Structure 1
Amino acid sequence: MPSVRTTLRLPPLVVAPSIAFRAGLAILRGVPAARAPDWLRHDPRLDALVAAGARYPDLRDWALAHDIPEATSASNVFEAPLLDPRTPREAQQEAVTRWMAAGQRGSVVLPTGAGKTLVALLAIQRTGTNACIIVPTRALVSQWFTQLADAFGAEHIGAFYGDEKEVRALTVTTYHSAFTLLERHGARFTLLICDEVHHLADSATGEARTRLDALLIAPAPHRLGLTATYPDGQDSWLVRALGPVVYRRSIGEMTDAELARFAIERRYVDLSPSERARYDAESERFETYAEQSQWRTQADSPDIAWKLFAASARRSPAARRALRAFRERERVVRMAEAKFEETARVLRMFPGEQAVLFCGGTDVAMEVSRRLAIPLIAASTPASERHAILHAMRDGTLRAVASVKVLDEGWDVPNAKLGIVLGDSTRGGARQHTQRLGRLLRRQGDQVASLFELVAAGTWEFFASQKRGAAVRKVADSQLGFGL
């Protein structure tokens, strides 16, 4: 009699409903797709419904309404007292109040020197939760770490970048490292603070920058953006990730009351005969090629047209010669002899003022540093040397410092009330110019901040200076002037 084989059928495995955050994803298990929120999608690898981590607060609210527990949860309460002795100004208090009223989401726009860092400290205190602070550079990681340690105690502060990977209740990271931190430890933070959020502006094509990816996977429901130069008109993705602008004050509105008054003078200098000859020759070589090739008309956007031209220089000897001529023309203007002479003259005009010299390139900064015996801070300057120079500026033992972009944003040089612009790296960018002016505006009694622009007359730099000037038009009372 043949044997009869029977198959034992097991009942399907039943997974209890639960939610969790893991690897940058909001995850829902044990619930059919038909009964789940429609913004969740099935992931066959996890056999669960998932969404980007930024939707985790929404998933938590939905789960709470349906009595579905979190698979893992940890306390994000931060209860350390704020030790900062400063009394918040009216604008700082109002900024935090507006941000809280907006659901603890959105950006605060305040001029440099108006105390955006204290706004962040007050936001941490008011929310009472763990926070991740994201900044654009490693130098700012060090500055924020120090300020947070002074305000709440070093035992609560961590840093996550490069070889440093210490995660604590308040953790500072860079936009470059934020994705890795929030993917692994995002559930530990209820508040995100993004410094200098203009770095998150939409790309030239209107798309999101990759730096926003970290914010899209983070489960933190509360988000605060800080900047002095908000990217109006280029903030579609920024608004989605952080929220809209909830508070804004301009330089003009805060001058006298909370910022130092300021004066701006544009000083024109002439190229020497030999410099003028080189400038004209290189300009003619570059413009001749531009007319022949018509590369400026190859795209609707000047930025895209320039990228196409620069790319063509890899293949075309003529384009390569034109690009070389363009760079030499820029160098002639940047290194004009009269600029160094005028810089020394301005410094002699203000013998008692500490000064910041804003340079358009490393070559300029190195030359002015050599000629005037002024320390230089560039991207390659070691952190220890950078801190020593800035400390000497703060305690008054150092007269001046030359900078290439590093001091344009984020760093405080409160005693410096004299700025000299020898050139910029953006060909008249309004944002860079506003940030530079802001370095001088931290109020010190009744001192007036002075910013001198040194412009090579009869060159492309004239038009760049006109663009820069549009960035600092005040909306309140008129600024001081030196007769121009």
Structure 2
Amino acid sequence: MESTADGADDTSGCRDFRRELELKQHAASRPLWVCPDGRIVLEASSPVYAQALDLLVAISEPVSRTRHMQEYQLTQYSLYAGASMGLRTQDITAGLERFSKCGLPEEVRAMVAECTERYGKVKLILRNDRYYIECPGDGAAFDALLHDAQIAEMRVLRDAAEEIPDHLRAAAAHGGGGGGAGSIVGLMGAAAFDEDEPSFSRLEHRSFEVDASKIKQVKERCNEIDWPLLEEYDFRNDADASALPVELRPETRVRDYQQAALGRMFGSHRARSGIIVLPCGAGKTLVGITAAATIGRSCLVLCNSAVSVEQWYQQFLMWTTVPKERVTKFTAGTKERLHPEACVLVSTYNMISFPGRRSKEALEVMADVEAREWGLLLMDEVHVVPANTFLTCTIKTKSRCKLGLTATLVREDDKIGDLNFLIGPKLYEANWLDLQAKGFIATVSCAEVWCPMTAEFFAEYLRQPVAVGRQLYAMNPSKFRACEYLVRFHEARGDKVIVFSDNVFALKKYAIKLKRPYIYGPTPQHERMMLLEKFKSTSEWNTLFISKVGDTSIDLPEANVIIQVASHFGARRQEAQRLGRILRPKARFAGDSTDPPPPPLSLSRDVLHYYHYIIIITSLSLHYDTQEMFYSTKRQQFLVDQGYAFKVITNLVPDGQDELLYSTQRDQLDLLREVLTDATSAEAQAEDAREAAEVEKDSGGAAVYGGGGVSRKRASMSELSGGDGLTYAETSRRSAPAGPSQRHGVFKQIDKARQQQRGGR
């Protein structure tokens, strides 16, 4: 990298750290490069790699984790997460100093100190259906919160005669300074009753109540003024909540990385709210069930779909001793009454957040859900929570602890940061390559298959609108032939194949022509379960076509080949979720009981191979001139950052394969006419309306269609894709940068210093 002067930026605005960082003695044996901007590079070949990795997982966010070099970034929330695990400022700086090849930059020391010294000083407590903010032993934090104008508007002011929390009553009784309820209220909420009161030294626990309906705003404001809320649940000493009779079965075995993740949650002998990130197939469900069994109180599990609800329901009964009558489901088709005492309820985000008219049975269940204080709110696929629809779930339900589970903590709409105050910091994230090396997840070969468009399809692609163009490259005959070739090739080997298509027309056309089953939005629940069960346990159907309803929360451990023929936009998360369908290894470890034994497969080898194909369209000259090429590059970015490499195949189908469909020009022209006709047909619009109605029905409302006719409306891309209400929006991260008030003071100082350096050149 070129530099204009010592310590200055180069012409591209990048800093030359070679001139700023001085190597220590024995630097070659140290694995970390710690840069002044909080960026950390880890050498995976170091003999102390494992120890350095443990530190980085606790205090930083992974950016890229390739096989030999890994990159991490210190952030405000990652340092909060480290502090929540009991790491002090000096622990973090000493650890970085020990592993760093250079002296620890002063900017990093200041960043660590600023972010960790305040964390844990302010706590959010749920008690008797009321939320309290407590500042144990810290008068400065208490004064700052009470005198903040926005938090003042969200405080709840009650009469002195009303119920006072027991711990405050005891503190006032032993702390002197007057007696009676009136003096307790005066001490507990002095700013509410006497804004001029400067000191609260007579109370060990300083507390005030906040409006339960404004918890999101309270958390967000506390983060903005650098007093982040810590949510911990002292479940061992909770005598108010009834206990749930649940334990893990003796034969259940929790793997070492699952134990590490749970250790981050229960490290302080309390249940700490936060997020655990594990790859698909690595056992996130068992981690959540173990957390629920450890807390031993009522648990509310929220999932993406009814299929996922059924799987969680069965997994609770499989891995724990909880009585069956205490595990209930709440979906559009199943509205079971909750057990009057502690229980486990498994439902969907849509069912809890649905704003429309409900049936009588659903209203009764929802009233019970909202009235209860749940010991644990367990959120599967937690990356969907920031969406406005699902955000309601965290407001409607009251829980003492929240645990989010996901394989891909990424979104395309800049809302992923909201999880830090809606749920909590990231507690643990596993390294995909490390789990792969240990055999816990499968080693997958990823390939991009380039299929040139036929001349007729490419001419129409250049002429037609964008929406029709997507239909054209989804149904390109070269792509169809490549898909058919791969399906027949892998079925002959005894493999189990899943073919994904976000385009419903293409999904049905491929499946019907190839005589294979398919699942998409309007597919009835019982039919979905039947098809999935046949795919898992029989050799009758070794290939299953599925829309994006199969992206998340569907357990298909037998599949070992993924073929993707049509996708929308550049969603990195969707790409990783689809790869995750085949990450569970089929060759089990001896004595590993966390997965049920696989069904017998008629294979000619002992070890299965795993393949992930992405079939995309290029022009006649193989140039990057179709939208699908652009989106494919973006979609793969997350997997590349996890260490995966993609092989490009330009000539997949060998010559002489005339038995494949659409091999003649006449068949290709017939297909072209069919595609162009379908793009604007009334039947296609009606199909979109039926699928949209199915989404609403799954959400808990009445179906739009049925009875007299079909409701028609303007179609959207999400409705065309066969999903269950999930959306993927392509946005620019640069278009909506975080405002100054949303950034931590340390990071604003770094930005200011950079601007001054550039201005002084």
TM-score normalised according to structure 1 size:
0.74
* Aligned equivalents of 2:515, 2:562: Cα separation in 1: 17
> Is the Cα contact below 8 Å between 1:358 and 1:402 reproduced in 2?
yes
Shift of 1:36: 4.2
* Aligned equivalents of 2:448, 2:486: Cα separation in 1: 12
> Is the Cα contact below 8 Å between 1:265 and 1:452 reproduced in 2?
yes
Higher mean Cα deviation, 146-155 or 464-473? 146-155
Q: Encode CA deviations 1:64-113: one digit per residue, 9 max, x unaligned.
A: xxxxxx9xx96331122323844221111111111112642110001111
Q: Encode CA deviations 1:1-22: one digit per residue, 9 max, x unaligned.
A: xxxxxxxxxxxxxxxxxx7428
* Aligned equivalents of 1:276, 1:420: Cα separation in 2: 23
> Is the Cα contact below 8 Å between 1:412 and 1:439 reproduced in 2?
yes
Following superposition of structure 1 onto structure 2, how do residues 123-272 of structure 1 map, counting pairs within 5 Å?
A: 123-151=291-319, 152-162=322-332, 164-168=335-339, 169-178=343-352, 181=366, 184-201=369-386, 209-231=388-410, 234-257=415-438, 258-272=440-454
Letter in 2 for 1:141: V
Give the match's secondary structure for 1:349. helix
Q: 1:349 to 1:59 in 2, by over 3 A?
A: closer
Instruction: Tell me whether 1:466 sits opposite 2:633 in the alignment.
Output: yes
* Aligned equivalents of 1:464, 1:39: Cα separation in 2: 54
Give the match's secondary structure for 1:215. helix
Partner of 2:681: none
Q: 1:78 to 1:386 in 2, by over 3 A?
A: same
> Is the Cα contact below 8 Å between 1:84 and 1:150 reproduced in 2?
no
Give the match's secondary structure for 2:544. strand
Instruction: Tell me whether 1:405 sits opposite 2:548 in the alignment.
Output: yes
* Aligned equivalents of 1:85, 1:249: Cα separation in 2: 24
Instruction: Tell me whether 1:419 sits opposite 2:598 in the alignment.
Output: no
Q: 1:219 to 1:340 in 2, by over 3 A?
A: same
Instruction: Tell me whether 1:274 sits opposite 2:274 in the alignment.
Output: no
Give the match's secondary structure for 2:557. coil
Q: 2:243 aligns with which of 54, 77, 82?
A: 77
Partner of 2:483: 343
* Aligned equivalents of 1:198, 1:401: Cα separation in 2: 26
Q: 2:495 aligns with which of 353, 356, 366?
A: 353
Q: 1:119 aligns with which of 278, 287, 306?
A: 287
Shift of 1:137: 2.1
Letter in 2 for 1:383: Q
Identity %: 22
Letter in 2 for 1:228: A
* Aligned equivalents of 2:231, 2:479: Cα separation in 1: 60
Q: 1:186 to 1:85 in 2, by over 3 A?
A: farther
Following superposition of structure 1 onto structure 2, how do residues 322-337 of structure 1 map, counting pairs within 5 Å?
A: 325-337=465-477
Q: 1:37 to 1:243 in 2, by over 3 A?
A: farther
* Aligned equivalents of 1:388, 1:461: Cα separation in 2: 33
Give the match's secondary structure for 2:405. strand
Q: 1:444 to 1:471 in 2, by over 3 A?
A: same
Instruction: Tell me whether 1:448 sits opposite 2:448 in the alignment.
Output: no
Give the match's secondary structure for 1:276. helix
Partner of 1:289: none
* Aligned equivalents of 2:431, 2:190: Cα separation in 1: 42
Letter in 1 for 2:273: R
Q: 2:573 aligns with which of 431, 450, 468?
A: 431
> Is the Cα contact below 8 Å between 2:231 and 2:424 reproduced in 1?
no
* Aligned equivalents of 1:273, 1:39: Cα separation in 2: 75
Q: Encode CA deviations 1:115-157: one digit per residue, 9 max, x unaligned.
A: 1000011101111111000112222222212222333342221
> Is the Cα contact below 8 Å between 1:111 and 1:249 reproduced in 2?
yes
Q: 1:182 to 1:420 in 2, by over 3 A?
A: farther
Q: 1:38 to 1:338 in 2, by over 3 A?
A: farther
> Is the Cα contact below 8 Å between 1:22 and 1:184 reproduced in 2?
no
> Is the Cα contact below 8 Å between 2:338 and 2:368 reproduced in 1?
no
Letter in 2 for 1:384: H
* Aligned equivalents of 1:26, 1:167: Cα separation in 2: 33
How many equivalent residue pairs? 398
Letter in 1 for 2:503: G
Letter in 2 for 1:21: D
Q: 1:166 to 1:51 in 2, by over 3 A?
A: same
Partner of 1:21: 129
Give the match's secondary structure for 2:402. strand
Q: 1:219 to 1:337 in 2, by over 3 A?
A: same
Structure 1, unmatched stretches of 5+, are 1-18, 42-48, 62-69, 204-208, 283-324
> Is the Cα contact below 8 Å between 1:137 and 1:174 reproduced in 2?
yes
Shift of 1:223: 1.2
Partner of 1:94: 260
Partner of 1:109: 277
Question: Does 1 or 2 have the higher relative contact order (CA < 8 Å, sep 6+)?
Answer: 1
Partner of 2:212: 52
Q: Encode CA deviations 1:399-432: one digit per residue, 9 max, x unaligned.
A: 010010011111111111011000113x121110
> Is the Cα contact below 8 Å between 1:431 and 1:471 reproduced in 2?
yes
Q: 1:409 to 1:475 in 2, by over 3 A?
A: closer
Following superposition of structure 1 onto structure 2, how do residues 28-39 of structure 1 map, counting pairs within 5 Å?
A: 29-30=162-163, 34-37=186-189
* Aligned equivalents of 1:76, 1:39: Cα separation in 2: 35
TM-score normalised according to structure 2 size:
0.48
> Is the Cα contact below 8 Å between 1:76 and 1:189 reproduced in 2?
no
Q: 1:148 to 1:37 in 2, by over 3 A?
A: farther
Give the match's secondary structure for 2:398. coil
> Is the Cα contact below 8 Å between 1:358 and 1:404 reproduced in 2?
yes
Shift of 1:483: 7.5
Partner of 2:200: none
Give the match's secondary structure for 2:584. coil
Q: Encode CA deviations 1:316-350: one digit per residue, 9 max, x unaligned.
A: xxxxxxxxx22111111111122221111112322
Q: 1:129 to 1:361 in 2, by over 3 A?
A: same
> Is the Cα contact below 8 Å between 1:198 and 1:229 reproduced in 2?
yes
